């Protein structure tokens, strides 16, 4: 699957520590290489800003899927992700 970032999602991780940025980028490459990356995702109960999420440590990647593309909408710490 292809992964596309919104402008907001691309700028969110810049405030994170460098090791966290690398970990998120590495995990997103891993998910993109999988035949069915949704098996690692969880559907959100209230999809206001996105339908699914990946959990990467204390961080959450909120995204939608359109055909065979993943659109990353935001990347936040767990306590800030669901506001």
What domains are defined for the chain?
Answer: 2-78 (3.30.2310.20)
Rounded to the nearest integer, the mean pLDDT of the chain is 91
CA gap 33, 16 in Å, rounded: 24
Would you say 33 and 70 are in contact if contact means Cβ atoms under 8 Å apart?
Answer: no
What are the tens digits of pLDDT across the range 42-69?
Answer: 999 887 888 999 999 999 999 999 988 9
Question: Residue 72 in 3-state DSSP?
Answer: strand
CA atoms in the 13 A half-sphere facing the CB of 79? 0
CA gap 3, 82 in Å, rounded: 21
Nearest to 82 by CA among 66, 59, 56: 59
């Amino acid at each position: 699957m292809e992964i596309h970032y919104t402008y907001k999602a691309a700028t969110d991780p810049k405030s994170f520590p460098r090791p966290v940025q690398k970990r998120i980028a590495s995990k997103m490459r891993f998910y993109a290489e999988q035949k069915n990356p949704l098996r690692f995702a969880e559907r959100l109960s209230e999809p206001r800003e996105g339908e699914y999420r990946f959990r990467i440590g204390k961080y959450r990647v909120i995204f939608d899927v359109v055909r065979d593309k993943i659109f990353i909408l935001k990347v936040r710490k767990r306590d800030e992700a669901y506001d």
